Structure formats: C-alpha cells, structure tokens
Amino acid sequence: MTTTASRQMTTGKSFEYALLVQFEEKLKDKTNLEVIKNSSFEIAKGCFENVSETEKSDYLLTASFAVNFLMDIEPRLTNDIGKEDILQLEILSDQHGKSGDVRDVLAIRLLQKWEIGVSAKNNHHAVKHSRLSSNIDFGEKWLGIKTSKEYFETVTPIFNNLEKIRKESGAKKKWSELGDYHSSIYIPILKAFIKELKRLYKKDSKKVASNLVAYLVGNKDFYKVIKGKNSVEIHAYNLNGTLNLPFDDILPKYKTPKVPLPTEIIDICFKTDSQTTAIITMNNDWTLSFRIHNASSRVESSLKFDINLLKSPKKLFKNTLNISHE
C-alpha cells in the first residue's frame, strides 16, 4: 500500500470512529444503545488512536456538528418505543462496498425495523473506485447483466499482455517505461467499456440506467458526510425513501426528498480533449465521469476507474455546516 493510500485509509477510518463516538456520546442519555465492537470497530479505533491530538479534536468536532444535524433530521435516533428498543451503532467492513453498499457507520433499531447509514468522507467527493481486468465481469457485478464474449475478446489480450510484462520484469516495470500507453492500453479498453455499456443498455435500458447509479452511488439509502477544512457537508441519498422518517408524530426538522434514479442513458462518450475519461449522461439530472488510470506506478494487469458524480438531481438534499473552532 502506498503511503498516500494508507494515510487516506487512516484519516478515513479515524473519521468513521469519530462519528461513532459522537453518536454514542450524544445518544447514550436519550435511549438504550449498544456499540458493536467488531473487527472494523477495532481497526477504526486503532487508526484514530494513531493520529495527532489536533487531528483527533478536529475529527470529533466535525463529527459532533454532523451528528447534531442528523439527530434533527432523524427523530428515530433519539426516540425509542421502550427499553427493549436498543439503538445499535456499528462500523461496517469495507467488504460491503463491493456489493454496492457504501455505508461506513450504521445506526440500527431492530425492533423498529429501521436503520440509517452514513458514508464518511474526508475531503473528497469521488463516488467509487472500480476495477476492470480480464476476469472482472463489470456487467454482472454492477448491473446484474452478464458482459458479452466480444468485450472480453477485446480486453483480455491487452490485460494478458500487461500481466506478461509484469511477470517478466519481476513486477518492477513501470508504466512510464511503456511509451504511449494511453493509445495502446487506455483508449482501447475505454472504447470497449463504452461499447459494452451501450450494448447492455440496449438489452435492458431501465435496469442498466438505475442499477448503474445504485451500484456506484450506493444501493442502500445513506447520508454522505464530507469533512472539509472548516466545514462539513451532508448529502441525503434518499433513493428508496427510507431516510428522514418521522417517529409517531415527531417530524424531522428538515425534509430530505426522495431522489429519483435515472431510467435512461442519454449519452456515453469520451470527454472532450481526454483520452482517459468517459462521460455518462442520464435523465433525471445524473451525470457521471469515469476516468481510467493505473493504481500503481508499476505495471499491473488491471486498471482502476476514478468515478465522480458531475451532476446530481436538484432534489438531492445538500447542506453545508460551517465549523467554528472556539
């Protein structure tokens, strides 16, 4: 793992832990709660304990602002139907992300059959990093429709060649030594990806459009909490209408509307003047960019997508809280 990647992991996990701590701190006197101390909890706690005191207090302060706001819009956090109604707080393992569940911290009431999840982000707005390789069926994994033989016939020789280069160099060969790898590797793979996505879309347009966003953005409703320098942003991805529910006659202080998923793809094309990025434009105001890149400086037989949400529906609730350091 590169130092930036491990640094990112440490800051990300520390922020998850800070959120859990603040949920516990603010809710323990209001309801019966239980923190689930699984291995993800221990990892996050370890990361938090390894950052500087300044960072710790910064994470806790940001988390405190976020949790206060979430308590305003989620009355079920503080309200129970009796002693048996226990609020469980849990940090999810990264494994969940692979199936499209992007939530990091979960608050669950089994008795009310209710849960809300938070995706904690430290200074970044990217949605997901997904890989392409000769054995990843992105159609099946992302959309629930198998990728064609033609797609694999196009990309497999390219990935196999990369694997050969990697093996022959004892995993030492760098991308920078491959010459113009954008034309020889990135462009043909991205073209094959675009062509295949169009083919899958023709097969089942509504399913492909909505599943693409659900998989990349998150297939379970969640709040995205993005920590900035002196602010915290909260976005409500209320795609299925499970967020922001009242408790009996106690209503949330703000409304976070249900966000419509796309039902059609309008266009899939290369970004202007780019050899590495595809833009997917959909109805209901959804636009995603897919930038293909190598995750490591050394040659590997897979490539990574950096996926960003360029445009999202006006109905997507967003709120920025400014944090004043007293």
Tens of each residue's pLDDT in the chain, 326 residues:
456 768 888 899 999 999 999 999 999 999 999 999 999 999 999 999 999 999 999 999 999 999 999 999 999 999 999 999 999 999 998 777 677 788 999 999 999 999 999 999 887 666 777 899 999 999 999 999 999 999 999 999 999 999 999 999 999 999 999 999 999 999 999 999 999 999 999 999 999 999 999 988 888 999 999 999 899 999 999 999 999 999 999 999 999 999 999 999 999 999 999 999 999 999 999 999 999 999 889 999 999 999 998 999 999 999 999 998 66
Helix axes 187-203, 205-217, angle to 10 degrees: 130
Per DSSP, the three-state class of 188 is: helix
Distance CA 199, CA 144 (A): 14
Distance CA 212, CA 205 (A): 11
Tokens 């599943």 correspond to what residue?
A: 211
Extract the tokens encoding 292.
Answer: 């293909």
| pLDDT at site 326 | 63
Query: Which phi and psi angles does 318 have, rounded to 5°?
Result: -135, 135
| pLDDT at site 222 | 95
Tokens 């304990």 correspond to what residue?
A: 49
Look up the pTM and report it: 0.87
Q: Are 271 and 279 in contact (CB under 8 A)?
A: yes
Tokens 């922020």 correspond to what residue?
A: 15
Q: Are 74 and 244 in contact (CB under 8 A)?
A: yes
